[in-house]
Structure 1
Amino acid sequence: MSFSGEQYPGVEPPAREASGFRLNHTMLRIKDPQRSLAFYTRVFAMQVLRKLDFEEMGFSLYFLGRLDEGEVIPKDAGERTVWTFQQRGVLELTHNWGTEDQPGFTYHDGNAEPQGFGHICFSVPELDAAIAWFDANDVKYVKRPEQGKMKDVAFIKDPDGYWIEIVEAARMKEVGRKT
């Protein structure tokens, strides 16, 4: 018998009508696109897959992702937009025009009161190497892997103060196991 997901009160069987649905992206509002794009493209080696401007509403959307080696993005803008919305693990950065010029302007990170949104997460091949990379790039930490009760998990901040969890999948094997 194949694994069909962990079961808890409230979990319902998948509806046939929802077949093919997948989580495509998570959106974060950003103050300064130049600063945020520099962070995500440099620190996480993400690429801008597509930028969409909405002049009449005064905002831009930047869709970032990581490509597999040899993966090809369509050159045609319309085809690339369709392709972008078919991907998994895309980060959408939303810039409301003019916020970059407002001194003291910030977005709520979801971790201060009242709490709501918490963080996004990147899985890295080697946590120690990632920490060295973050240190070399002056990344701000919420929690280093050796701190607190959850060892082998780091939390860093992006330029807007959003928390980013950093994990090495191989080190997570024992998390949540009953002893």
Structure 2
Amino acid sequence: MLRFAHFNFNVLDLDRSLAFYKEALELEPVAEKAAEDGSFKLAYLGDGETGFQLELTWLRDRTEPYDLGEEEFHLAFLTDRFDELLERHRAMGCVCFENPDMGIYFIQDPDGYWIEIVPER
């Protein structure tokens, strides 16, 4: 057996990111790990429906924003509440790109990662 387990985003402010992912995408922590010396913290977020997790990694010594290259990668979420979420994300000010022709849009998290929102068809 081989299956997806999680995907990682490194973040500068773990509390800010946890709050964003809860408000924007309703993700909740399902597991956490921390180094005994306080050098890092990991938070694994789940959607409550699938086993896939988003791992947020915070490193104590990291103070500069992460280089995300040309932002040519992203996570995607499928939803049956597309219009509701689009309204929420517009109100949050995190919509960074809309493609009405394809019927999708993207939000951007506090560290600059893009997340695609796709309607269930």
Q: TM-score, normalised by structure 2?
A: 0.88
Aligned to 1:119: 74
Does the CA contact (< 8 Å) of 1:152 and 1:167 recur in 2?
yes
Matched, 1:156 2:83: no
CA distance in 1: counterparts of 2:68 and 2:45, whole angstroms: 19
Return the letter of the residue paired with 2:79: V
Greater RCO structure (CA 8 Å; 6+ sep): 2
The answer (yes or no) to whether the contact 2:32–2:44 under 8 Å persists in 1 is yes
Aligned-residue offset at 1:88: 2.5
Instruction: Provide the C-alpha distance between the structure 2 equivalents of 1:159 and 1:134, rounded to a whole number of angstroms.
Output: 13
Q: CA deviation at 1:37?
A: 0.5
1:90 corresponds in structure 2 to 53
Higher strand share: 2
Structure of greater Rg: 1
Task: Select which of 47, 62, 66 maps to 1:107.
Answer: 66
Deviation readout 1:28-76 (Å, 9 max, x if unpaired) = 10010011001001111111011100234711110000114xxxxxxxx
Q: Which residue of 1 aligns with 2:91?
A: 136
Q: Which runs of 5+ in 1 are unaligned?
A: 1-19, 69-86, 171-179
5+ residue gaps, structure 2, are none
Q: Distance in 2 between matches of 1:57 and 1:134?
A: 33
Q: Deviations over 1:62-101 (max 9, x none)?
A: 0000114xxxxxxxxxxxxxxxxxx6220000000143xx
- 1:120-174 residue CA offsets vs partner (Å, 9 max, x unmatched): 1111213222110111222241x1132xxx520111111000011110120xxxx
Would you say the 8 A contact 1:22–1:88 is kept in 2?
no
Post-superposition CA distance 1:100-131 (Å, at most 9, x none) = xx3xx21122425xx6xx01111121322211
- Choose from 18, 24, 27 the match for 2:8: 27
Equivalence map 1:5-16=2 (5 Å)? none
Match of 2:39 in 1: 58
Give the fraction of aligned pairs with identical amino acids, expressed as a percent: 30
| Structure 1 SS opposite 2:83 | helix
Question: 2:24 matched to 1:43?
Answer: yes
Indicate the SS of the match to 2:20. helix
What amino acid maps onto 2:74 in structure 1? Answer: H
CA RMSD of aligned residues (A): 1.9
Aligned length: 121
Question: After TM superposition, where is structure 1 displaced by more than 4 Å over at least 4 residues in a row?
Answer: none
2-side partners of 1:145 and 1:128: how far apart? 14
